[in-house]
Amino acid sequence: MKIRISKTDKLFSEYIRRRAIVRSGGCERCGTWKTDYKQLQCAHLISRWHKSIRWDEEAAIGLCGGCHLWIDHEAEEKIALCKKFIGEDGYEQLLSRSRAIGKPDEAMIQLYYTSKLNELEKL
């Protein structure tokens, strides 16, 4: 079943991919240089089916298509990559947040990522 892509998903994805360009200059796994964020994909390190962290910036990184495909089939490597970016404690906290019940306020999330994108534009 295909997941519906909302305005919030699009804002989040753009932020994660633009952040990857700023942080790493491209793919945050292999380091492949990219000049345009549109050349990257937003990779969720914990499944986006968990609504409580679907738009959590600690739960996603920007990857090239090859790394995204590879990491989605290597569970242990995905966990290691997540821990590389947010640490062991951060990973445990993210797992805990993923178990939360309830629906996030998408309007507030959209405002947040709109402001984060504006901050990146200034860099």
This prediction's pTM = 0.91
Rg (CA), the chain: 14
Write down the pLDDT at residue 1.
58
Burial class (CB in 10 A: 0-12, 13-18, 19+), 37: buried
Write down the pLDDT at residue 4.
81
- Domain ranges for the chain, please list them: 7-114
* Intervals of the chain under pLDDT 70: 1-3
